[in-house]
Structure 1
């Protein structure tokens, strides 16, 4: 699933009933993420922390959709374990988990590692994560090995960046950016257009090369 590829529509059984992905997505963004297996320690922390942060995703018009190659009954039983371990999950478990026991969706979406992708006995999914915009396009992907849990704050940070740049395509967010920090003006914006686009002002950084390409602003 390359960036800007369209996620194909699919039907799936989940812990919250059957879904047709496009209908389920509606006009929302989606974080679709796989985990290697139910009843495993790192996955329990990931799904728990994402559940705790669900209100932060909802405020950003983002729906959450988990996936693994386990059976639906295992998902249902495991959700009870996650809620027992993460006591700060409010109310019912807030998002569905796809059951993909034949691995068909995992194969279609590229969620398996290279070595084991053709071995149904050992081909658990890696920690693949896709951020999908309302037009069904992959806007960002993350692939982590089984041994490394993901950072929920980073997922939220990149959603903020993607949505900000969609609203104002003349900017890009620099390394370690968080909302409120300065952003970069993209090189295609001409200097003469800066006052109209950024009336709050733009700072220019002098470089030894003499080229002026680092332009920053908080006017967004």
Structure 2
């Protein structure tokens, strides 16, 4: 298992976890099923750049769907913040979120995936993207 001191590498199994999301509780590997997945983090709810990014992911999600790829976002903010932010994204970006947002208030998942930069504010995730294959192995990382 990875933590903030051990970076995940290409070919590593994506760590499994159970988490509360804006669409209910999920177990990550079960949620992924037998297809591809994209897990991405954003530093904080309500920031202008992150709001735009999530709006754009929602806008292009039909392209992911057509290719059988599931997308899921994560931040260290709690679920009630995600719910308010979802309404803000609808209002400011003109699109309804159509993918789950993970509430990771205890940073358990962010630490598991090495998303907290050791020299930055320890409550904010860095922007990270993990592309995960049907075999649950990491195929691409972008940080």
TM beyond 0.5 = yes
**Shift of residue 60, structure 1, vs aligned partner:** 1.1
- TM-score, with normalisation over the residues of structure 1? 0.60
Runs of 4 or more, structure 1, over 4 Å off, are none
Aligned pair count?
136
**Shift of residue 114, structure 1, vs aligned partner:** 2.5
Kindly indicate whether residue 102 of structure 2 is the aligned counterpart of residue 98 of structure 1.
yes
Unaligned runs of 5+ in 1: 144-220
State the secondary structure of the residue aligned to 1:63. strand
State the secondary structure of the residue aligned to 2:131. strand
For residue 50 of structure 1, what is the aligned residue in structure 2?
Answer: 57
Deviations 1:181-202 (A, max 9, x none): xxxxxxxxxxxxxxxxxxxxxx
Alignment RMSD = 1.1
Unaligned runs of 5+ in 2: 1-7
For residue 67 of structure 1, what is the aligned residue in structure 2?
Answer: 74
Q: Which has the larger radius of gyration?
A: 1
- TM-score, with normalisation over the residues of structure 2? 0.91
**Shift of residue 50, structure 1, vs aligned partner:** 0.5
What is the alpha-carbon distance in structure 2 between the residues aligned to residue 135 and residue 25 of structure 1? 10
Deviations 1:114-148 (A, max 9, x none): 303xx6xx4300110000011111100101xxxxx
Contact 1:83 1:93 (8 Å CA) reproduced:
yes
Contact 1:34 1:126 (8 Å CA) reproduced:
yes
For residue 135 of structure 1, what is the aligned residue in structure 2?
Answer: 135
Q: Which has the higher contact order (CA 8 A, sep 6+)?
A: 2
Deviations 1:145-198 (A, max 9, x none): xxxxxxxxxxxxxxxxxxxxxxxxxxxxxxxxxxxxxxxxxxxxxxxxxxxxxx
**Shift of residue 42, structure 1, vs aligned partner:** 0.6
For residue 112 of structure 2, what is the aligned residue in structure 1?
Answer: 108
For residue 27 of structure 1, what is the aligned residue in structure 2?
Answer: 34
